Chains A and B, each alone.
Chain A
Amino acid sequence: MRNIALLAVLALPLASQTALAVEMEPLFRAQLLGGQYFFKDEKASLSGNASMLFAPALRFNERWSLLPSFSSAYQGTKRVVDLVGAGSLFQEQMDHRAGLKAVYVPEDSLWRLKGRTGYKAQMLKETRDEHWMHGLFDYQSAEAGLEAEYVYRDPFSVRIAYDYAYTFFPNYTALESQHAWDFQGQPLAREMVGDRVLDSHLNMLSLAFDSSIGAASVVQIGLRLARQSYPRQAVVKESGLLDSARRSDYSSHLSAGLRTPFELRPETRLTLSGGLWGGNLLSDQNSYDASRLRFISRYYDYVQFGTDLGARLDLGDEREPISVSLGLSVQRRNYLGRPAQDSSGLYRADHLVQDSWMLTGSLRYPMSQRISLLFELEHGRTSSNQGYAQFYSYDYSATNYLFGLQYEY
């Protein structure tokens, strides 16, 4: 695809005379996959995933473009990367998103200025009694963002972006806020309690840079800084009661990656990639374990770091290669304020540490220029020094496989 783009650079002047009218260039991608999910020693029944993306890109002239996009996805087979510590085999998920992005390229400039907005709704059915639109953790998100990209050497660039998102969980209201009094007429809820405690505002600043190194290697560096505030979630005090202050989290994420292609033979190409990343979260929220009367300061604070390794082998025609990919990701998260517990729930002196690794494999077999067969396999393992697993499993393995078709235009 890139070759076509590069070839067309010199052909651009030929088309400039006719580029005044609005042109529409559709982008489309669809996947239909079936598979199964395994958690610990249990397996879910066969199910399927389906997704679709449609983006009718509009080109007004050489400077202005507009990119509306619509995507929908249904997931009947859990992925290993999904939240699985809660252990439910059964989960159905739908995601729907509409977005609009404007791209402006000033004349004779290497800058690209972009503005975007979007709205997303995710629906979940995790238990037998949940129904679409009524899942406890359904959420909707309204987003907007600005980005400036300096393409210093096509396709390499530096990007700086600001994003804002308001995320709300329409079906999640704190129970405490719903029942203020007991049947005796006495208080049942704490003062200062909020209702929509999970709703949040996210402000994020991100920087990204990529560049070629040597003949064909590509290096990518990214940094994200974010503040997430919860306007209706009161901070928990040492006494277990609630403060008038509301929760705020600050997080950062730094990543660096390198990708190097090798041409073993004209029809055999190998791409190796590796990356390191690290991040942290600092929150002013605490927790109070009422069953053990334990106040836990800075409950959410953590640092985490990890590495990703990957290899992709492309066989045959570079336009329609057979691709085999393998990936390994390893990560560790250290909770800075949260003590680990033994199997009976007794708090220990050491802090909670969670390690996980995931191995992925995939095969993409092109059946035609736009249709491919896909096979994906994921296996993940998580372990922790947390011995208490009454609510959430910190020590488990999970596997899933998916097989199906992909169409891409």
Chain B
Amino acid sequence: MGRLSCVCCLIPITLSLVLLLGGSLQAAVVLRKASGVVQTRSGSGSWQNVLRLPAALAVGDQVRTGAQARAVLVFEDDSRVELGPDTVFILEDAAPKRMAMRLRMGRMRASVQRLFSRRFEVRTPTAVCSVRGTEFLVHVAAGGRTTVDLYKGLLGVEDSRGHQVLLHPNERIRVDLRGMGAPERAPSAMESVRGIFHAGMRREVALDMSREEVLAAAAKETKLAEYQQGKVLMDVHGERVRLEQYILRPRPDQFKLVVLNDRSGRFDYFYYLGTFNKTLPTDLSSALRQLRGGLDTAPDYYLTSVETGRSNTADSMLELAQGGHLVDVNNNSDFGDDVNEFFDPSADAYVDSTGRSVYQSLFDRYGFYLNGKLKYGWTGSNIQTYDDKILSSNTDPISGVPLNLANAYLDGGILSLRSDPNVTFPTDGKVYQRIYESYGDGSFISWDSYILDDQGRVADSSEFASLTGTALSTRLLDFNYEQVVTATEFGGRKIDLVVSPKILMQSKVIQ
């Protein structure tokens, strides 16, 4: 009887347990909502897409969500767990006294009913959260770094080293393999929204800055090309010099080289207009290689007239040479005009021409004008050497008109006589030369010539000390040349030009 009563007592208990256990296995945890890719698997089985909702979860089942996906789990006591994107969740226990789950990665928000008879645990790789009625959010990042935010109730958190802390509402704690930090204030829901927005806008600012860098690079390239083409330099005073060089073709037998200099508050220019014995080809280089004449043979192209001009827009300096014809200057009567270093265009360098024929244009008429008035000039007739020239005194060498105070600088009724130039080097150790020309009327012209690098530094004499002849001329081509001309007639102004010496050497403007 005792055993029967015992059995009778056991039956309802067992039935109750079976019903209770059976009920909990079937509906203790239900996957109620899913959006995006949400998959489940039982034990070590394969992952299956969730096709029907609600779907019951059993102990050991796993849930994972894809990008942008979400899932909502509802427990039999109406506790809820929301899973965010890229989350892996495992239901570890669903017993009446203990609900346990593991969050391997991702994030979940839990809203747990307050049941004192049940324990609710969330485990991450680095933390254990034990709750009895609360609302909290867990995020597991790379390396198991866990962040827990508590919104309601109390939450116990334990790290892998056994340290425990009790979180209060609106507190956050971070846990990693080293342990846990101190609780800090958790952001409110509104602050979290602002945090998202803040991060998003920072990203937009960063994207804009990247795009801005691309656009700025385009502007930088534009500037780079100007520097590489030598259109911007610095002069001896450290000031900006803009330099433009180009050619014009005024007539088929002419070319005009123009050099423009622009500085703050001033503009200077130089031009060289050459007229040849015949029509020039499209590719000027073949003709202009012969600008300095021909070595051993007469050049096909030679100058019949030359005009150079310099100006600062207020003052002008004009040289005119006409009546050009070829002369073998190394075999005329004037040894002083012999060319011992000839610029060989094929080598783009100077070569020794001693004892060889060099055919060059000599001109029969030459005039040098300052501000439109003749300063100096001479004439001749088919001259073979400039020793044969006749200095102009009463008539203009080019136009032939009589000279007067309106068209020439006269001294005692005739063109003022020029004395031999005085050449000095004003700064020791620097390649800075001054040529001073004085005239009978007391006027002067001063030519200050500097050899500069592209930084405006005046070259040291030592840089040329061991060089002579051809080597010196070639070395000069590595530098810029600045020529400053002052004259009594300029009234204190000057013409200041920075040019490539190559232009002037080849055009015989400088020697």
Contacts and interface: CB of A to CB of B under 8 A. Distances in A.
A182 B309 contact: yes
A152 B67 contact: yes
Contacts of A178: 267
Given A2-B199, A57-B197, A344-B478, A182 B502 contact: no
Interface residues of B, number: 106
B250 interface: yes
A27 B227 contact: no
Interface of B: 67-68, 82, 84-85, 107-109, 137, 139, 141-143, 145, 147, 149, 176-178, 187, 189-205, 207-208, 211-212, 214-216, 218-220, 222-230, 232-234, 237-240, 242, 244-250, 256-258, 260, 262-264, 267, 269, 271, 273, 282-285, 288, 307, 309, 311, 313, 316, 318, 348-349, 453-455, 474, 477-480, 500, 502-503
A146 B410 CA distance: 74
A376 interface: no
Contacts of A83: 220, 223-224, 227
User: Which among A5, A87, A294 has the greatest number of chain B C-beta atoms within 10 A?
Assistant: A5
27 contacts: A3-B147, A8-B196, A10-B107, A10-B109, A12-B196, A23-B194, A69-B205, A88-B234, A120-B215, A122-B219, A152-B67, A167-B219, A175-B244, A175-B267, A183-B316, A204-B214, A224-B214, A240-B249, A241-B247, A266-B143, A288-B246, A300-B225, A346-B349, A390-B480, A391-B227, A391-B228, A391-B230
Contacts of A189: 258
Interface in A185-205: 186-190, 198, 200, 202, 204
Given A293-B247, A345-B477, A129 B240 contact: yes
A55 to B, nearest CB: 6
Interface in A267-300: 267, 287-288, 290-295, 300
A78 to B, nearest CB: 13
A290 B246 contact: yes
A390 B247 contact: no
Interface in A105-145: 110, 114, 116, 118, 120, 122, 126-130, 136-137, 139, 141, 143, 145
User: Which among B176, B178, B193, B195 has the greatest number of chain A C-beta atoms within 10 A?
Assistant: B193
Contacts of A263: 142-143
B195 A8 contact: yes
B200 A139 contact: no
A155 B203 contact: yes
Interface in A306-355: 318, 343-346
Nearest to B311: A183
Binding site of B, secondary structure by majority: helix, strand, loop or mixed? mixed
Interface stretch (A13-21, A30-38, A357-365, A399-407): A13-21
Nearest to B148: A7
B455 A175 contact: no
A238 B284 CA distance: 10
Interface in A51-95: 53, 55, 57, 59, 65, 67, 69, 83, 85-88
Given A179-B269, A291-B502, A346 B348 contact: yes
Given A10-B82, A18-B190, A129-B264, A295 B283 contact: yes
Contacts of A101: 204, 208
Given A57-B198, A67-B205, A118-B208, 6 more contacts: A6-B107, A27-B202, A136-B242, A141-B215, A198-B223, A267-B178
A55 B201 contact: yes
B503 A15 contact: no
User: Which among A7, A27, A85, A345 has the greatest number of chain B C-beta atoms within 10 A?
Assistant: A7
Contacts of A390: 230, 453-454, 478-480, 500
User: Which among B240, B262, B318, B503 has the greatest number of chain A C-beta atoms within 10 A?
Assistant: B240
A127 B107 contact: no
A305 B86 CA distance: 37
Contact of A345 (B191, B214, B502): B502
A224 to B, nearest CB: 7
Contacts of A182: 269, 271, 309, 311
Given A130-B240, A239-B249, A1 B202 contact: yes
Sorted nearest first, the 4 A-B pairs with minimum C-beta distance are A8-B192, A391-B230, A153-B67, A14-B189
A5 B195 contact: yes
Nearest to B316: A183
B204 A67 contact: yes
A9 B84 contact: yes
Nearest to A387: B478
A4 B195 contact: yes
A231 interface: no
A97 B212 contact: yes
A1 to B, nearest CB: 5
A154 interface: yes
B478 A143 contact: no
A398 interface: no
Nearest to B473: A344
Nearest to A143: B215
A401 to B, nearest CB: 22
A184 interface: yes
A148 interface: no
A228 interface: yes
A179 B229 contact: no
Contact of A391 (B107, B197, B271, B454): B454
A85 B225 CA distance: 11
A243 interface: no
A41 to B, nearest CB: 13
Contacts of B204: 67, 101, 103, 114
A182 to B, nearest CB: 6
A216 interface: yes
A261 interface: yes
B190 A239 contact: no
A7 B173 CA distance: 13
A139 B219 contact: yes
B489 to A, nearest CB: 14
A24 B258 CA distance: 60
Contact of A163 (B68, B107, B211, B230): B211
Given A53-B205, A83-B223, A266-B143, A293 B245 contact: no
A1 B201 CA distance: 12
A225 to B, nearest CB: 12
Given A190-B248, A266-B177, A200 B222 contact: yes
User: Which among B143, B200, B225, B284 has the greatest number of chain A C-beta atoms within 10 A?
Assistant: B200
Contacts of A110: 68
A185 B453 CA distance: 34
A226 B211 CA distance: 13
B271 A188 contact: yes
B191 to A, nearest CB: 8
A384 to B, nearest CB: 11
A175 B107 contact: no
Contact of A167 (B177, B218, B267): B218
A85 B227 contact: yes
Contacts of A114: 204
B454 A392 contact: yes
A159 B210 CA distance: 13
